[in-house]
Every structure is written in structure tokens, then in C-alpha cells.
Structure 1
Amino acid sequence: MLKIFTTQLQGHFNRIMEQEELNMEDGARILAQSVISDGAILVHGFGEMAAVATEALYGAEPLKSAKPLFTNGKINEVEDVDSVLLITRFSTDEEAIKLAEELRSKGIQTVAISAIVKTEGERTLEKSVDIHIDCKLTKPLIPDDVGTRYGFPSVMTALYAYFGLKFTIKEMVEEFE
């Protein structure tokens, strides 16, 4: 099973790398502008994606200028030079969409990471943010003997997309300095 899981996961990583490179660059440009302008990158992960926000804020190599978007359940002040990074499992997450629309109405540049879910509705996260990075995982990876699937590593694919974004931000900031 682990070999199947690894092969499937590597395929997702490759698709993110190949298909989301331009979005990562554009998202990194927005977030790097905040770093260069002495602003902050305010980060928030919904549900299990709090793991990605934790990595960005408190990991071994924190994202430069990163701060939590929320403290004690209340949104922190977002300045004009700040930008926001939102991470959620699916692009149909109503709470994430609502927050992204609120940030957009205030003129706050926002980048999001989530798996795009095809939907008939007009309200999706990728339409509510400035740049969206699709982490591609919409169903479990491993088929079982009866045709159902299991193994849904949403945090792993979002972390992969996050690190692609982080490395690009680092390069841009270093070029500026």
C-alpha cells in the first residue's frame, strides 16, 4: 500500500509543480511585496490546514514576516502593506470564501491554497482571491478491493504548494536585498 500511496502522492506533487508554477510565482510576488515593504504576511489555515499555518509561523524555517491572521478567535489588524495567505482543503469552503471576500472588500491582497472543486456556484475561493494555488487533491488516493478509496493527504499536498510558494518568496526577497 505504501508504494501505491507514494506513487500517487508523487504524481500530485508533479502536477502541482508543473501546473501551478505561474500561480506560485504570482502569489509569491504579492506576498514578497509585503516583506519588502516591512509589512506582514498574515496566515490562516482552516481545519486541518492549521498545520500549514503552523509550519509557516512556527516551523524550523518560518516564513519571513509571517504573523497569524487570528489571535484568540479575533482577526488581527491588516495594514495596507500587509497581505494574507489562506489555506483550506477545498475551494468550496464557505468560511474561507466569506473571509476572502471580506478581505477583498477592504483592498487586502490575498493568496490562497486549496484543491479546486468543480462546482456550478459562482462563489469559490479561486474567484475570491487575487491568486489561487490549486493543490489538486479532491479524492483519496488508494483504491481498495471494493472500489472505494482511502488515504487523503490534504495537508501534505498543501504543504508542498506552500513550500513552493515560500521558496519563491525567499528568492524574490533576496534578489531585492
Structure 2
Amino acid sequence: MMKIFSTQLQGLFNRIIDQEEEMVEDGARLLAQAVLGEGQLYLHGFGEMEAVVIEATKGAESLPSSAKLIIDGKMAQLTDRDRVLLITRYSTDQDALQLAEELAQRGVEIVAISALVKGEERSLDQLVDVHIDSKLVKALIPDDEGNRYGFPSIITALFAYYSLTYTLKEIIKEYE
């Protein structure tokens, strides 16, 4: 079972690498503007994606100039030098769409990580400046009855996040 799971997961990682490289680079450049321009990099994760925010702000390799966007229900005071990274399971998450619309109306530049749900009228990729598709829209492992299970959304979002972070750190290093 774990062999199937790891093979499927590696397939998702490869698709992120192959298909999202340009978005990762664009997102890293956008976020680098905050770090290099004396702004803040604010993050917000919806649901289980708060794990990515914790990793980014408190992990062993935390992001420079990073902070949580919303603390105790209050949004940080944003300036034009700040950037926001939103992370959610699906690109159709209504709470993420609402926050992205609010931020975009305020002129805030946004990078988002989510699994792109195709064919929807409203989608996060339409509202943000850069969208990185985490690729996980259905569970990975089929069972004998035709059902699927194994939905590692945090793992795929963290992989996309690390791709973004390592590219961001390379950009920052070039300017030091």
C-alpha cells in the first residue's frame, strides 16, 4: 500500500516540478519584492493548510520577513511593500476567494497555492497575481470497490511551498 501511495505522491511532485516551474519563479519574484523592499511577507492558510503557515513562520527554515496575516481574527496592517501568500486545499474555497477579493481590492499583491479545480466559474487563480497548482484534486489510492483514499493535501502544498521558498531564497541571495 505504501509503495502505491509513495509512487502516486512522487507523480504529483513531478507534475508540480514540470508544470508549475514558471509560476513558482513568478511567485518567488513577487514575494522577493517584499523581502528585499523592507516589506512583510504575510501568510494565511485555510483549514489544514495552517500547517504550511506554521512551517513558514516557525519552522527550522522559516521565511525571512514572514508573519501570519490574521491573528486573533484581526488582519495585519498592510502596506504597498507587503505581499501575501494564501494556501488552501482547492482553488474554489469560498473563504479563500473572499479574502483574495478583499486583498485585491486593496491593491495587495498575492501568491496562492491550491489545487486548481477546473471548470469552475470562480477560482482563486483568477483573483491572485500568481497561482501555484498543488495538483491534488482527488484521493490517490483506489480500493477494490472503486473508491479512493489517501488525500495528502498538506504534503503537496508543502512541496509547492518549498519549491517557492527555495526559489525565493535564491533570488534574495543574488541581491545580497
Structures share a fold, TM > 0.5? yes
Indicate the SS of the match to 1:57: helix
In the alignment, what sits opposite 1:151? 150
RMSD of aligned C-alpha atoms? 0.6
Conserved in 1, the CA contact under 8 Å of 2:92 and 2:120?
Answer: no
Structure 1 gap ranges (5+): none
Q: CA–CA distance in 2 between the matches of 1:43 and 1:140?
A: 26
Q: CA–CA distance in 1 between the matches of 2:149 and 2:124?
A: 25
Q: CA–CA distance in 2 between the matches of 1:160 and 1:111?
A: 15
In the alignment, what sits opposite 2:124? 125
Q: CA–CA distance in 2 between the matches of 1:79 and 1:68?
A: 15
Q: Which runs of 4+ in 1 moved over 6 A?
A: none
1:119 shift after superposition? 2.8
In the alignment, what sits opposite 2:160? 161
Indicate the SS of the match to 1:53: helix
In the alignment, what sits opposite 2:35? 35
Report whether the alignment pairs 1:137 with 2:139.
Answer: no
In the alignment, what sits opposite 2:78? 78
1:97 shift after superposition? 0.6
Q: CA–CA distance in 2 between the matches of 1:78 and 1:18?
A: 34
Structure 2 gap ranges (5+): none
Please list the CA deviations of residues 54-99 of structure 1 after superposition, one character each: whole Å capped at 9, or x if unmatched.
1001001101110100111111111110000000000000110111
Normalised by the size of structure 2, how large is the TM-score?
0.99
Query: Given residue 28 of structure 1, which amino acid in structure 2 is its aligned partner?
Result: A
Q: CA–CA distance in 1 between the matches of 2:27 and 2:147?
A: 35
Q: CA–CA distance in 2 between the matches of 1:139 and 1:18?
A: 19
Query: Given residue 57 of structure 1, which amino acid in structure 2 is its aligned partner?
Result: T
Please list the CA deviations of residues 112-160 of structure 1 after superposition, one character each: whole Å capped at 9, or x if unmatched.
0000001341x21000100000000000000001010000000000000
1:49 shift after superposition? 0.3
Normalised by the size of structure 1, how large is the TM-score?
0.98
Indicate the SS of the match to 2:104: helix
Query: Given residue 6 of structure 1, which amino acid in structure 2 is its aligned partner?
Result: S
1:100 shift after superposition? 0.5
Q: Tell me the number of residue pairs that the alignment of Structure 1 and Structure 2 aligns.
A: 176
In the alignment, what sits opposite 1:107? 107
